[in-house]
Structure 1
């Protein structure tokens, strides 16, 4: 029974990511809101926090963000078999399509209608990526600190700082800030305990 349940879930994971890989245009970032819709909102395989953790980890390691997210999501849900089927599902469509394009596109790239089509596709892809940024940013940019970090990271990326440098810098900054907040909270709790003791002694 357990083996059958595993197979059914893995098959569903494979079909889900196969569909996402086949019908999502605009690259990995454009795929993320659709992954969130299917994984978090539709199937409830992950909650909001787990999906954001998956996204953070996927962006912090080498590789395409959509593939990394698919692997992490599959592993989180069904371990190694889940990671494997999600990986297969998300790469098969793009591998097949790009192979066909590589085989035949060079013959048609000088055709006027093809060039005109790509003049519309390119800005459309930018729009899809921008929409993905908004969708992913809504649950994250809810605090002043998060907004400041976002703006600083955006500025550093625009001036040309390597993405790994941005990720490492703000990871260290977040660690320091959280450590400082924790110490401040502990100090405040100690002060409250001390005040309560003094009040009890006075009574």
Structure 2
């Protein structure tokens, strides 16, 4: 791996850049983090990225910050966490501070309102892309249990409005049980 100070600097500026130009919440940043850390910098592989995203989504707080924390820790330990957190929180903190000073002007401005409406379409497309990428990987593995879990989770959340936290806890328990069962079978074989 590269020299630690260079990694920390790259980590800070990468998370700063991603956080500055990501609109639409945490799910949008997931794709951008994958592009940056997996495809461009090759710091982590795709499987690790999915695991890190799962950890970030399961933890309380903003997905963007949680994602930055787990990637930062993976790459450079505690200094990596501090650099990535700083890079991830500075842009929204500065932008929101400036917007709050001019809130009334932003709220009533037709152009700003129209831009935000237009951005919603782009954000929806990026989220659909993330769902497709993650869902297609589950389908490609051809593990029917995971495919059924994915389908049932969607149905429970979308149609029955089951709390996402409950779904995550149940699915995590199912995953733990499946892993333990696979390990026991491997030991007996």
After TM superposition, the score normalised by the length of structure 2 is 0.87
Choose the corresponding residue for 2:10, options 5, 9, 12.
12
The match for 1:146 is: 146
Take 1:13 and 1:151, find their aligned partners in 2: how far apart are those partners? Answer: 35
The gaps in structure 2 that reach 5 residues or longer are: none
Q: Deviations over 1:30-53 (max 9, x none)?
A: 111111111112111111222122
Larger Rg: 1
Take 1:25 and 1:88, find their aligned partners in 2: how far apart are those partners? Answer: 18
Cα RMSD of the aligned pairs, angstroms, is 2.0
Kept in 1: contact 2:52–2:70 (CA 8 A): yes
Choose the corresponding residue for 2:80, options 75, 82, 105.
82
Count of residue pairs brought into register by the alignment: 185
Q: Deviations over 1:29-84 (max 9, x none)?
A: 11111111111121111112221221111111101111111111111111100111
SS in 2 for 1:46: coil
Take 2:37 and 2:138, find their aligned partners in 1: how far apart are those partners? Answer: 18
The gaps in structure 1 that reach 5 residues or longer are: 190-203
Kept in 2: contact 1:58–1:68 (CA 8 A): yes
Kept in 2: contact 1:30–1:131 (CA 8 A): no
Take 2:162 and 2:107, find their aligned partners in 1: how far apart are those partners? Answer: 34
The Cα of 1:28 is off from its aligned counterpart by 1.1
Kept in 1: contact 2:58–2:168 (CA 8 A): yes
Take 2:79 and 2:184, find their aligned partners in 1: how far apart are those partners? Answer: 42
Kept in 2: contact 1:59–1:65 (CA 8 A): yes
After TM superposition, the score normalised by the length of structure 1 is 0.82
Asked if residue 36 in structure 1 is aligned to residue 34 in structure 2, the reply is yes
The Cα of 1:186 is off from its aligned counterpart by 5.7
Take 1:121 and 1:133, find their aligned partners in 2: how far apart are those partners? Answer: 18
Kept in 1: contact 2:99–2:106 (CA 8 A): no
The Cα of 1:141 is off from its aligned counterpart by 3.4
Q: Superposition pairs for residues 5-154 of structure 1, below 5 Å?
A: 5-142=3-140, 143=142, 144-154=144-154
